């Protein structure tokens, strides 16, 4: 796992990394993950939804995504959410 929030990583970058790592994506998290691939900044919008809500819903539905990479990617997303608030 080489992505860090200090490298100005985007929500899209994390979503792509998760897609490459998570082999059996939960159907509950899949649509949110796909939406995240269209988001650069956590303060952006995805159509009528905020990026914050999309990422929050993804995290709420990604409980079956586990492992070292999963923890690291989820932690990055959580840090982004904290910075947005």
Number of domains in the chain: 1
Percent over 90 (pLDDT), the chain = 87
Can you give the residue range of the structural domain that contains 14? 5-84
Round to whole Å and give the CA distance between 78 and 41: 13
For residue 45, list its beta bridge partners: 50
Round to whole Å and give the CA distance between 35 and 28: 13
pLDDT 10s digits, 4-21: 555 579 999 999 999 999
pTM for this predicted structure: 0.88
């Amino acid at each position: 796992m080489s992505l860090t929030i200090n490298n100005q990583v985007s929500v899209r970058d994390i979503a792509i990394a998760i897609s490459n790592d998570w082999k059996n994506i939960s159907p509950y998290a899949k649509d949110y993950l796909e939406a995240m691939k269209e988001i650069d900044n956590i303060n952006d919008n995805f159509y009528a939804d905020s990026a914050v809500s999309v990422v929050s819903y993804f995290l709420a539905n990604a409980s079956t995504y586990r492992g070292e990479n999963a923890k690291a990617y989820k932690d990055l997303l959580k840090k982004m959410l904290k910075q947005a608030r």
